[in-house]
C-alpha cells in the first residue's frame, strides 16, 4: 500500500469509526506487523507462537462480517457434510459435539439427531444462534480453553474438529483443546485437518503433526480410518478415532 493510500485509509477509518476506532485499528495493525516479523525468523518464531491471540483474531474476523473461510463453501463444504452425515447415520450416532463450529454455514448441511457447537468467538456464537433460531436440535456455547472445566457434564458419542487444529497456533491452546476434545468423547473423535509440521506466513495458520500427539496422550483411542480429501487444493483429510471399550 502506498503512503497516500495508507493515509486515505486512515482518514476513512477516522471518519467512520472515530479517533478511538483509528487508535484501536492502528494498534492491531502494529501488533500484526510485529508478529509477522517474529514469525519470519526461525529463532523468534516460538515467541510469535506464544504471543498470537487466536481468540482476538477470530472474534475480529467474525465481528467484521467475514466468514469461517473457503473450507465451508461450495463443493468442499458438501464433501465434508456428505462424509459426516454418512458416518453419523451408519454408526447410529445420537450426539455430536463440535469444537470450533464457526459461523454455522457448514452445520447447515448437518443431519445429526442432536448437536452442540462450541466456539471461541462471541460473534460467531451470535451468528449461529440467529441462523438456527428455530432448530431445537442445535445448541451453542462459548468456549474459552483456559476456563473450560468439563468433568463429564458435556459428553457426546462423536466429537468433531473441522479445520481447526491448524489454527491452534500456541502450544498451550493446542494441548488444552485436544484434551477437552478427547475427554468429551464417549466413542468417536473425527479431526479434519492437515497433519504435518509447517509454519506459514499466514499468522493464523500453523500446520501440526497432531497424530503423534494423539498417540502419546490418548492411548485409549485408535486411529481407525483416514479419508483423503477429494479436493487437491485443500490441506485437510479426515482422521477417525475410536475409543477402546472396556
Q: List residues near ligand SAM by CB under 6 A.
A: 54, 58, 68-69, 71-72, 99-102, 106, 119-121, 124, 143, 145, 162-164, 167-168, 173, 177
Q: Which is nearer to ligand SAM, 95 or 121 (CB)?
A: 121
In whole angstroms, how close is the CB of 236 to ligand SAM at the nearest point? 9
Report residue 102 as a C-alpha cell.
Answer: 464457526
Q: Which is nearer to ligand SAM, 22 or 121 (CB)?
A: 121
Q: Which is nearer to ligand SAM, 22 or 120 (CB)?
A: 120
* Cβ atoms < 10 Å from Cβ of 230: 11
Q: Which is nearer to ligand SAM, 22 or 35 (CB)?
A: 35
* Cβ atoms < 10 Å from Cβ of 223: 14
Q: Which is nearer to ligand SAM, 31 or 222 (CB)?
A: 31
| Residue indicated by cell numbers 452442540 | 116
Q: Which is nearer to ligand SAM, 22 or 71 (CB)?
A: 71
In whole angstroms, how close is the CB of 80 to ligand SAM at the nearest point? 7
Amino acid at each position: 500500500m502506498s503512503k497516500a493510500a495508507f493515509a486515505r485509509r486512515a482518514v476513512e477509518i477516522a471518519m467512520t469509526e472515530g479517533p478511538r476506532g483509528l487508535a484501536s485499528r492502528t494498534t492491531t495493525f502494529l501488533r500484526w506487523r510485529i508478529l509477522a516479523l517474529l514469525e519470519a525468523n526461525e529463532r523468534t518464531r516460538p515467541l510469535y507462537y506464544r504471543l498470537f491471540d487466536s481468540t482476538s483474531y477470530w472474534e475480529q474476523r467474525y465481528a467484521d462480517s467475514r466468514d469461517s473461510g473457503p473450507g465451508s463453501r461450495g463443493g468442499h463444504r458438501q464433501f465434508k457434510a456428505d462424509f459426516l452425515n454418512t458416518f453419523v447415520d451408519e454408526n447410529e450416532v445420537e450426539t455430536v459435539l463440535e469444537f470450533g463450529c464457526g459461523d454455522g454455514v457448514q452445520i447447515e448441511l448437518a443431519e445429526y439427531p442432536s448437536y452442540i457447537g462450541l466456539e471461541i468467538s462471541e460473534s460467531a456464537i451470535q451468528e449461529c444462534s440467529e441462523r438456527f433460531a428455530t432448530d431445537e436440535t442445535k445448541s451453542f456455547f462459548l468456549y474459552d480453553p483456559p476456563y473450560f472445566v468439563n468433568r463429564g457434564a458435556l459428553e457426546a458419542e462423536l466429537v468433531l474438529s473441522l479445520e481447526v487444529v491448524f489454527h491452534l497456533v500456541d502450544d498451550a491452546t493446542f494441548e488444552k483443546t485436544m484434551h477437552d476434545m478427547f475427554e468429551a468423547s464417549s466413542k468417536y473423535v473425527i479431526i479434519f485437518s492437515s497433519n504435518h509440521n509447517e509454519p506459514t506466513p499466514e499468522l493464523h495458520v500453523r500446520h501440526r503433526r497432531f497424530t503423534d500427539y494423539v498417540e502419546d496422550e490418548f492411548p485409549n483411542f485408535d486411529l481407525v480410518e483416514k479419508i483423503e480429501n477429494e479436493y487437491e487444493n485443500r490441506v485437510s483429510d479426515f482422521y477417525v478415532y475410536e475409543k477402546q471399550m472396556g
